[in-house]
Amino acid sequence: MMRPTSTLAMVVPSLAVAILCILVRSASAEFWLDEFTTDGDVRRDYDRSGRQVASLVLDQRSGAGFNSTRKYLFGEFSVEMKLVGGNSAGTVTSFYLTSGEGDEIDMEFMGNSSGSPTVLNTNVWANGDGKKEHQFYLWFDPAADFHKYKIVWNDKNIIFQVDDVTVRVFKRYDDLPYPDAKPMAVHATLWDGSYWATRKGEVKIDWSSAPFVVSYRDYTANACAVHGRNGGGSSSCPAGANEWMDRQSDDTDRLTVAWARRNCLQYNYCDDGWRFPQGFPGECARN
């Protein structure tokens, strides 16, 4: 007599969970990825809590990516990512903004050999002037779970954050190039960067481990959208935009940036005299 009751006790919770998942998905029919165009193998799914997950797949035939249909002029852009697991050497995963006309703000994650730390490459381009990389070893395994990565961009500075910890601030100086005039779209990509990604190209992709997958969830853009064809019209900013529009580094940011420099920074363009034989970029002496 106990067996049917025990079986029913197991089935009912499972059925309830299944119904809950259906309700969650129905209630959120619009997928955040609908704001983007896609290229390559881009998959849509849900995690156990019902949150929408977009995954990019890289194999020997093609990489993958998505880019926003809207362009923005300043904003706060955030996403949670779970990077490629195992031996990801040679792969490059990204979350970045670009105008397509020489302005760009990059967060790129360079694959590693199993057991080696993952490198986060941050960079800023303005009017085609780049070569401003800071590269950090991440202090956790970014493939074991989702972590949040954020770019805050306004007319005063660009702030890079990892799990709400500020690791870099790129300041604006009126006499130096800064991306403040060209609207930018949001992009995410996974691609074969064997020629430079891991140990400056020494370690190539091991295709026997393919396909490689990176997942994104909880994307938000609290930003000023630029209207008109190709983002060439007027802009509109959301309520509360001044929270990030006026955002500048504070004492906490300065402490965490100093911590990241001491413990995680493994490349700073302002220390690379071989790269700049004619002298370092102007901001190097001011930061």
**pLDDT tens per residue across span 5-15:** 444 344 444 54
The residue assigned the tokens 């906490």 is 252
The residue assigned the tokens 């050999």 is 113
- Is 108 known to be catalytic? yes
Distance in angstroms (rounded) separating the CA atoms of residues 225 and 97: 13
- Is 35 known to be catalytic? no
**pLDDT tens per residue across span 123-180:** 999 999 999 999 999 999 999 999 999 999 999 999 999 999 999 999 999 999 999 9
What letter does residue 116 receive in the DSSP assignment?
A: S
The residue assigned the tokens 């970045």 is 96
| Residue ranges of E strands in 197-246 | 212-226, 235-236
Query: Which position among 80, 108, 243, 283 bears the catalytic label?
Result: 108
For the chain, the domains span: 32-271
Task: Please check the confidence at residue 70 and state whether its pLDDT lies above 90.
Answer: yes
| Residue 143: how many other CB atoms lie within 10 Å | 20
pLDDT confidence of residue 239: 83
User: Is pTM, for the whole model, over 0.75?
Assistant: yes
**pLDDT tens per residue across span 36-66:** 999 999 999 999 999 999 999 999 999 999 9
Fold of 32-271: Jelly Rolls (2.60.120)
pLDDT confidence of residue 252: 98
Query: Which position among 35, 76, 101, 104 bears the catalytic label?
Result: 104
Least confident of 10-14, 30-34, 37-41, 107-111: 10-14
Task: Please check the confidence at residue 251 and state whether its pLDDT lies above 90.
Answer: yes
pLDDT confidence of residue 182: 96
Distance in angstroms (rounded) separating the CA atoms of residues 17 and 19: 5
**pLDDT tens per residue across span 210-247:** 999 999 999 999 999 998 766 667 889 988 788 899 99
Pick the more confident residue, 146 or 113. 146
